[in-house]
Chains A and B, each alone.
Chain A
Amino acid sequence: TQLLEQSPQFLSIQEGENLTVYCNSSSVFSSLQWYRQEPGEGPVLLVTVVTGGEVKKLKRLTFQFGDARKDSSLHITAAQPGDTGLYLCAGAPTDNQGGKLIFGQGTELSVKP
């Protein structure tokens, strides 16, 4: 069974601080995605990374896919209260029958003004 471990599970910081969320596995994934979920809503796709070592930036968010395609990180610079939410990583298995994604358990981020 393929698993994705996210850390930390909870993170409470002050506005303006930087933070990094990690997503690790012993399995290789063909691609990895990051989602953000707000209370009462479904997750919303932030980014997809496909190539080992790939780095993508989305404003203050930087996403990296590990060289071996087993891990990923999300770095937020100068966090704002609007960044508060549940961040989920999700990997597409290399033998992806049916198009399923494996999700991590999520990182709950709270950014205080």
Chain B
Amino acid sequence: ETGVTQTPRHLVMGMTNKKSLKCEQHLGHNAMYWYKQSAKKPLELMFVYSLEERVENNSVPSRFSPECPNSSHLFLHLHTLQPEDSALYLCASSQRRETGELYGYTFGSGTRLTVV
């Protein structure tokens, strides 16, 4: 299997549930990202793991928790979400040089999350 794989593709969860989104890349990239895509808004960066360094966006609520056990896997743990968190969550990977230059992202197909 090649590219970036996200599971599940669709998820409906209640506000009191705990769930996790999974992302796996088979490209040998050294950086992985979580983005949130809502209607009529630009893609919002949530979290970055790059060159084994975690860079967080401080505006992300603590009900979202990332985990990157190795360079190929990325998780987004969800708990006590709100209806406004319903969106398409996209995972991406890229190859980043130590000088900071990066090549284009390869995105997964996303997880369509609905919070009820």
Least CB distance, A63 to chain B, in whole angstroms: 13
B: residues with CB less than 8 A from A are: 4, 6, 31, 33, 35, 40-43, 45, 48, 50-51, 53, 55, 90, 92, 94, 96, 100-110, 112
Within 8 Å CB of B55, what residues of A? 97-98, 100
Within 8 Å CB of A100, what residues of B? 33, 45, 48, 55
Contact of B48 among A42, A99, A106 (CB under 8 A): A99
Within 8 Å CB of A88, what residues of B? 43
When C-beta atoms are compared, the residue in chain B nearest to A43 turns out to be B107
Q: Does the CB pair B109–A99 fall under 8 Å?
A: no
Q: Does the CB pair A44–B107 fall under 8 Å?
A: yes
Complex-state Cα separation, A4 to B41, whole angstroms = 12
Complex-state Cα separation, A104 to B33, whole angstroms = 17
Q: Does the CB pair A42–B100 fall under 8 Å?
A: no
Q: Does the CB pair A103–B109 fall under 8 Å?
A: no
Q: Does the CB pair B41–A33 fall under 8 Å?
A: no
Within 8 Å CB of A96, what residues of B? 100-102
Contact of A45 among B33, B42, B104 (CB under 8 A): B104
Chain A interface category by residue count: 20 to 34
Q: Which of B43, B53, B110 has the most CB of A within 10 A?
A: B43
Contact of B40 among A45, A97, A105 (CB under 8 A): A105
When C-beta atoms are compared, the residue in chain B nearest to A44 turns out to be B107
Least CB distance, A104 to chain B, in whole angstroms: 6
Q: Does the CB pair B102–A99 fall under 8 Å?
A: yes
Within 8 Å CB of A105, what residues of B? 40-42
Contact of A33 among B6, B101, B104, B109 (CB under 8 A): B104
Q: Is the CB of A61 closer than 8 A to any CB of chain B?
A: no
Given A45-B106, A88-B43, A100-B45, list of 17 further CB < 8 A pairs?
A35-B107, A40-B112, A42-B6, A42-B107, A43-B43, A44-B107, A90-B43, A96-B102, A98-B53, A99-B31, A99-B51, A99-B94, A100-B55, A101-B105, A102-B42, A103-B35, A103-B43
